[in-house]
Structure 1
Amino acid sequence: MIVEIVDYGVESGKYFIEYSVSGLSLNQMEFLNSELSEKTEICGDIFKIKMYFNEKLYPFQSDVAKMRIDDFIAREEIEMNIFLSSFLEDM
């Protein structure tokens, strides 16, 4: 599974991160699509997930994150990979 952040920022006053996930089977994508409460969609062989955060929990809002954004993006991609992997264990 490969997780990439494809977009992040503020949308209609809400903080968000959009992820693109590749390397999943159709069964895995359908399972995640039906079980996750976040906004999800299947686009061919790519699974997309969009998560919304309040300002306190948004990982890219700090001054440190703005200076070291690549490090923060990498960490978020790893965390999402772990989250999805653990979720798929229930499949």
Structure 2
Amino acid sequence: MSAPDANTPSMISGHAQYAKGYVAETIGNITGSKEWQDSGKKDAQEGINEMKAANSAKTSQPAASGLGGRVEELTGKAAGYEGMEKEGFERQEKAN
């Protein structure tokens, strides 16, 4: 099995990008910095876009994962992406 291409969409890097954006936007909201708010929104949207692309490119069923599934479920819920939310829930169910 070969390593994934750096340009291939990934749920993990998408989650990380989304989290980075969420934190930056929150800091901007707290400090009143429009630059941090805008940067955070942009990063969060890029993360959502990458997760959507990774989800549409997948060819297998979700793997079992308790904690990872929970993170995916909550991220999907926060982003309004029902497919990701459902897949995260399925990962948790398989882990139990």
Fold equivalence (TM over 0.5)? no
TM-score, normalization by structure 2? 0.29
TM-score, structure 1 length as denominator? 0.30
Structure with bigger RCO (C-alpha 8 Å, 6+ apart)? 1
Of structures 1 and 2, the larger Rg is shown by 2
Higher strand share: 1
